Amino acid sequence: MAALAVLIPTLLLAGCSGSSGSSSDAARVSAAQVTLTPGDGAAEVPAQGGVFAQVRAGRLTAVHLKDADGHELAGAVTPDGSKWSPTAKLLPETRYTLDALAVDKDGLQAAKHASFTTFVPKNTFIGFYNAVDRSTVGVGFIVEIRFNRSIADRAAVQKAITVTAKPAVPVAAHWFGDQRVDFRPEKYWAPGTQVTLALNLKHVEGAPGVYGTQSKTIGFTVGRSQISTADTDADTLTVVRGGQTLRTLYISAGGPGHSTYDGIMVISEQDQVTRMDSHTVGLGSEYDIPAVPHAQRLTDSGTFVHGVYWRSPSVFGRENTSHGCIGLYDAAGGYSGSTPAGWFFDHSMIGDVVRVVGSSGDAVAPDNGMSGWNMSWQDWQAGSAQ
């Protein structure tokens, strides 16, 4: 508040003073009457409209609104100097002090002090993130945050989330609707990169009257580079690590009417054994397999690389028979590491890339799992709120 640059002086208001001034000086009381809203000791003060200082028979010369850490909020005074209001919103669940100084027409000063606390939000939001602290992931890992409420002020929420890398590379955000934001670099992470996700959402207003509650930091490491290519025409899965081919496996991909998605997908989940029920992916009663071994999720919509023990070994490498998944020959139980599915499971990690190529599959959507690599860097950056 440039117009109110005068600092509040030390006020000698104590009753037992050793002042040597004359009795006539002590009798001179400022005509300025300062009023603070809210009053001292108030609670549940709103973020806007509930705080101001005003004066009668004088003009304000300094007003300071500070939180408990000493951070000062900006404000503005009316042209006649009679009223001051903050120009920024107050944070919830915060203690503030408000000090105001005014002078009357004779230059005599009057001061007022108040301390108060702000409201406790009734509506809050949190972000559910896919990064695991101290984990190691593949080079295709995309940081994904899903919110439990719709976010109206995406810019404010995005500003409160940072994803940083060491060695440093630019990392950009992309919003998929109003409840999900993903973060990735332009190209796959370099092996050995240390990545830190910081959620500083506490007190951030994501929508009118809806505030964040999280202050959380998560760190993870990018491991070796493994990029596998599934060719649904050749019925092969070629596993390449660090530029060297480890192995080529025979697969059985999506059959007629259920082609496997084409494009870049990333392993987001690994289950030694899981149940697969066609009802959960909108395919009615097509199948219900209670113990699918070595299942590794590629999309939110239900695409997996998984083991298959209920078909003849002769199918793999020759015929596409699945409902969209990539099948590898396996034994029941998910215990064997010597089967093709077991070997691939043991040699994979969350964040590894599986690229599917073929002649019949539809392109996988960028928001279907960690499939944002199918979007150009320019288009990805265009989805940022900042």
Which is catalytic among the residues 64, 174, 294, 325? 325
Which is catalytic among the residues 64, 203, 306, 323? 306
Q: Is the pLDDT of residue 348 over 90?
A: yes
Q: Is 15 helix (H, G, I), strand (E, B) or coil?
A: coil
Q: Is the pLDDT of residue 332 over 60?
A: yes
Per-residue pLDDT averaged across 335-356, rounded? Answer: 96
Q: Is 325 a catalytic residue?
A: yes
> 209-226 pLDDT, tens per residue?
999 999 999 999 999 999
Mean per-residue pLDDT over the chain, rounded? 91
Closest CA to 299 of 354, 380, 252, 232: 354
Q: Phi/psi at 114 (nearest 5 deg)? A: -145, 150
Q: For the chain, list the domains and their CATH numbers.
A: 31-117 (2.60.40.3780), 123-223 (2.60.40.3710), 226-374 (2.40.440.10)
pTM of the model: 0.84
Long-range pairs for 165-171 at CB < 8 Å and ≥24 separation? 165/189, 165/193, 165/194, 165/195, 165/196, 166/193, 166/194, 166/195, 166/196, 167/193, 169/193
215 CB-near residues (< 8 Å, 6+ apart): 199, 200, 201, 202
Q: Answer for the pair 371, 157: CB distance below 8 angstroms, yes or no.
A: no
Q: Answer for the pair 94, 68: CB distance below 8 angstroms, yes or no.
A: yes
**What pLDDT is attached to residue 360?**
83
Cα angle: 249, vertex 297, 150; to 5 degrees: 155
> 147-162 pLDDT, tens per residue?
999 999 999 999 999 9
> 240-278 pLDDT, tens per residue?
999 999 999 999 999 888 899 999 999 999 999 997 776
Q: Is the pLDDT of residue 200 over 80?
A: yes
Where residue 5 falls among pLDDT bands split at 50, 70, 90? very low
**What pLDDT is attached to residue 288?**
60
% pLDDT > 90, the chain: 84
Where residue 2 falls among pLDDT bands split at 50, 70, 90? very low
Least confident of 122-131, 172-181, 198-207, 286-295: 286-295
Q: Which two tokens stand for residue 10?
A: 């030390």
Q: Answer for the pair 122, 90: CB distance below 8 angstroms, yes or no.
A: no
Where residue 8 falls among pLDDT bands split at 50, 70, 90? very low
> 22-72 pLDDT, tens per residue?
445 456 899 999 999 999 999 999 999 999 999 999 999 999 999 999 999
CA distances 228 to 66, 147, 214, Å, are 56, 31, 37
> 223-248 pLDDT, tens per residue?
999 999 999 999 999 999 999 999 99
**Pairwise CA distance, residues 11 & 17, whole Å:** 12
Q: Answer for the pair 337, 346: CB distance below 8 angstroms, yes or no.
A: yes
Residue that is written with structure tokens 């503030």 in the block: 96
